[in-house]
Amino acid sequence: MSSGVFVKSRGGQILTHCFVSFKFGSSTRASQRVVRFHSFKTSNSVASRCKSAFAACHDNEPETVPVLNLTSSINCSPGKTPSKEVVFNGQKYWPGHDAFCVGENNDLSVLAIADGVGVWGHRGIDASVFPWALVEACKNVALSDNQTVKEGPIAVINKAYNRLCGDKRIAGASTITLALIDKHTGRLKVAALGDSGLGVIRGGNFWAFTDNSTQLVTYSCPNQLAIIPDDYEYDGPSWTTADKALTLGVQLEKNDLVIMATDGYTDNVFPSGTLAMVQQAAKRRPITKEEEIPEHLEFAAKTMVESAFSRSRSPTAPTPYEERLRRLGIPFRGGKLDDITVLISLVH
């Protein structure tokens, strides 16, 4: 069964509501290896690099495996975005313009994160409406339309987006990362449009499969879907379609940890930092019985969100965002203020 914990940081307080069980597999190995892929040009390039990367630990992909379950943890912190109250699983939270969803049926687990484009708020449009509608629409399509799921995550996003286009209540722009996991084969299929990140931790390795720099129109503007009102004069960067998304397929194994995060996290925390925090959580809050799972999960989620939140406000912390701007010749130091969302899922 899928469950989760939503952790929100605001004003130095951590508010937690558990709705997941969670554990870190064998992530306490002393050896660490972080692999980052850069300059993905096509989906075929992504697929070939992923296949090569996993060859070291998974030479022969099985055609079928026992039914796999997915347990997820959601961690959000509003950054510079004005907070908007959201009701999730009966609880109220303020995740800013980021959005997320977790869903499943007997055959499929669905994970999605989206990052609403906040600049629309300056024109009187609630930037959080479209990303929330988009992730929910993606989940509904994935769990109800087997044929579209067979076509892949881009097809799911396109169908979800087209459903929303006729709703006059919805406007704005958003990135979207959608992950579909076949419970019977353990196959993960991903489409990532925009600058959110996705990676897999297996044992002591962190395979970072998406490089958001290839999804940027400008240094601060990612590829995005948009719904533009008829009477709206839009002079910003042009939007695109889901067909521009990076796509990849990965064979998952039990105890793999799938991590999805919006750029509020990936722009402030290096992959090596993510791996270190996962390992720290496994050491400091080991699970010896089922009742300890919520405490373990809460600690892990708080560690990750607090780290990204702190670094985003530091004028001196080394960050991926700083590195990217320096490569472009733009003087910058420290973190980037933004909404932060991390979705962590354990395969078991």
Predicted confidence at residue 105, as pLDDT, reads: 96
Predicted confidence at residue 90, as pLDDT, reads: 52
Express each pLDDT in 45-90 by its tens digit.
333 333 333 333 333 444 555 678 877 777 788 776 555 666 544 5
Please classify residue 316 by burial: count the beta carbons closer than 10 Å to its beta carbon, then call 0-12 exposed, 13-18 middle and 19+ buried.
Answer: exposed
The token pair at 236 is 């910003």
Predicted confidence at residue 213, as pLDDT, reads: 66
Express each pLDDT in 261-270 by its tens digit.
999 999 999 9
Predicted confidence at residue 316, as pLDDT, reads: 96
Predicted confidence at residue 135, as pLDDT, reads: 97
Express each pLDDT in 237-248 by its tens digit.
568 899 999 999
> In the chain, what are the helix, strand and coil shares in percent, each to the nearest 5?
30, 30, 40
Residue 142 to residue 138: CA distance in whole angstroms: 6
Predicted confidence at residue 26, as pLDDT, reads: 30
Predicted TM-score of the model (pTM) = 0.79
Express each pLDDT in 278-306 by its tens digit.
888 888 888 777 677 667 767 777 788 88
Predicted confidence at residue 22, as pLDDT, reads: 27
235 contacts: CB under 8 Å, gap ≥ 6: none
φ, ψ at 241 (rounded to 5°): -120, 165
Residue 308 to residue 76: CA distance in whole angstroms: 10
Which is nearest to 73 in space by CA: 316, 246, 319, 285? Answer: 285
- Within 166-317, residue ranges assigned H as helices are 263-266, 271-284, 293-312
Query: What residues in the chain have per-residue pLDDT under 50?
Result: 1-62, 88-89, 91
Predicted confidence at residue 161, as pLDDT, reads: 97
Residue 240 to residue 245: CA distance in whole angstroms: 9
Predicted confidence at residue 229, as pLDDT, reads: 85
Predicted confidence at residue 265, as pLDDT, reads: 92
Predicted confidence at residue 237, as pLDDT, reads: 59
